[in-house]
Amino acid sequence: MTDYGHQLRFGIFPAPAAGTEHQLLELAQLADVRGLELFSVQDHPYQARHLDAWTLLAVVAARTSQLTVAPNVANLPLRQPVVLARSAATLDRLTGGRVELGLGAGAFWDAIVAAGGQRRTPRQAVDALVEAIAVIRSVWSGTGTVRVDGEHYRVHGLHAGPTPAHPVPIWLGAYGPRMLRVTGRLADAWIPSMGYTRLEDLSGMNDQIDAAAASAGRSSADIRRMYNLSGRFGTGAGFLEGAPREWAEQLAALALDEGISDFVLGTDDADDVRRFADEVAPAVRDLVAAERDLVAAGVEPVEGAPAETDVRRPHAAGSTAFPLAVVATRDDGSRLADGPDADQWDESTRPSVAHDPATPYTPEQQAAAQHLIDVHDALRSELAQLRDVVAQVRHGLTDVGAARSVLNTMTLRQNSWTLGAYCASYCRIVTGHHALEDRSVFPHLRAAEPAIAPVIDRLEQEHHVIAGVLEDVDRALVALVEDATRFGDLQDAMDLLTDTLLSHLAYEERELSHPLAAHGFY
Predicted confidence at residue 313, as pLDDT, reads 31
pLDDT digits (tens, 9 = 90+) for 225-253: 999 999 999 998 899 999 999 999 999 99
Q: Which residues contact 212 (CB under 8 A, 6 or more apart)?
A: 180, 181, 182, 183, 184, 185
- CB of 118 within 8 A of CB of 128? no
- Verify cis geometry, omega within 30 degrees of 0, for the bond prior to 288: no
Angle between helix axes 53-63 and 81-94 (nearest 10 degrees) is 10
* Cα 361 to Cα 125: distance, rounded to the nearest angstrom: 55
pLDDT digits (tens, 9 = 90+) for 39-93: 999 999 999 999 999 999 999 999 888 899 999 999 999 999 999 999 999 999 9
Q: Select from 17, 75, 102, 91 the least CA-distant residue to 51.
A: 17
- Which of the following CATH numbers is that of domain 340-519: 2.40.160, 1.20.120, 1.10.760, 3.10.20? 1.20.120
* Cα 170 to Cα 172: distance, rounded to the nearest angstrom: 7
In whole angstroms, how far apart are CA 117 and each of 86, 108, 109, 423? 20, 11, 8, 44
DSSP state of 148: E
The DSSP line for 265-322 is: E----HHHHHHIIIIIHHHHHHHHHHHHHHHHTTEEEPTT--TT---EEESSSS-S-E
Q: Which residues contact 516 (CB under 8 A, 6 or more apart)?
A: 368, 369, 371, 372, 445
Phi, psi values for residue 10, rounded to 5°: -135, 145
Higher pLDDT, 473 or 284: 284
The whole-number average pLDDT for the span 466-487 is 76
Angle at 71 between CA 68 and CA 75, to 5 degrees: 165
Predicted confidence at residue 398, as pLDDT, reads 29
pLDDT digits (tens, 9 = 90+) for 159-214: 999 999 999 999 999 999 999 999 999 999 999 999 899 999 999 999 999 999 99
Domains 9-241+255-301 and 340-519 share a fold: no
Predicted confidence at residue 319, as pLDDT, reads 44
Angle between helix axes 363-398 and 281-296 (nearest 10 degrees) is 120
Q: Which residues contact 44 (CB under 8 A, 6 or more apart)?
A: 50, 75, 108, 111
Q: Select from 393, 273, 233, 392 the least CA-distant residue to 32.
A: 273
**Domains of the chain: which residue ranges?**
9-241+255-301, 340-519
- CB of 73 within 8 A of CB of 129? no
CATH superfamily of 9-241+255-301: Luciferase-like domain (3.20.20.30)
DSSP state of 230: -
Counting residues of the chain whose pLDDT is more than 70, the rounded percentage is 83
Q: Which helix (H) or strand (E) holds 29?
A: helix 21-33
